[in-house]
Amino acid sequence: MYSAVVVIILSSGLIIIPLLTTNIILAQFQNFQTIQIFNGQIELHPRESQGYTFSVPSAAKNIHLKGSVSASGGAIKTVTIRLYDGSQCPPPDSQGRIHFGSCNIMFNHDYSEGDKIDKYIPHGGKFYLYLQDSSPLFNKVVTGNIYVEYLP
């Protein structure tokens, strides 16, 4: 911390007035790692989902799901994003499908045009992210960029 002090001497005594106090905060360089999950455009039919699997190292810290998405098509231009903790899901069936109704859902939110995503993930592990067209009638085109950022 640096500071400057002005001292004024008057006939009646000494007055000390702090003139400038500068705090220098040195930010530690943080080497964030990024995992790209979705970047581009997909078309979803009514009630259809598109899934993505990703893993974050178990020792990772300060983990955040980030990005933005937008949807076009239909009267309500939203897309639902769901994040599941893979360690809280049953193993896949004989055809490789996972029954997500039995999983621990970490995150379930509707996003519309221009909404930013920034959700904290408390631990590393295997995760499933799904984009869903919640409309029962209209196809949606989903455009966006979703990624995970963490400190190793």
Phi and psi angles of residue 117, each rounded to the nearest 5 degrees, phi first: -105, 130
Burial of 93: CB neighbours in 10 Å, binned 0-12, 13-18, 19+: exposed
Lowest mean pLDDT among 68-77, 120-129, 136-145: 68-77
Q: Residue 15: what pLDDT? A: 54
Residue 114 pLDDT level (bands cut at 50, 70, 90):
confident
Are the CB atoms for 43 and 143 separated by under 8 Å?
no
Most confident option among 6-20, 45-59, 89-103, 105-119: 45-59
Q: Flag whether pLDDT at 127 surpasses 80.
A: yes
What Å distances lie between residue 36 and 27, 132, 147, CA to CA?
26, 18, 4
Are the CB atoms for 149 and 34 separated by under 8 Å?
yes
- Mean pLDDT, the chain, rounded, equals 84
Q: Residue 74: what pLDDT? A: 80
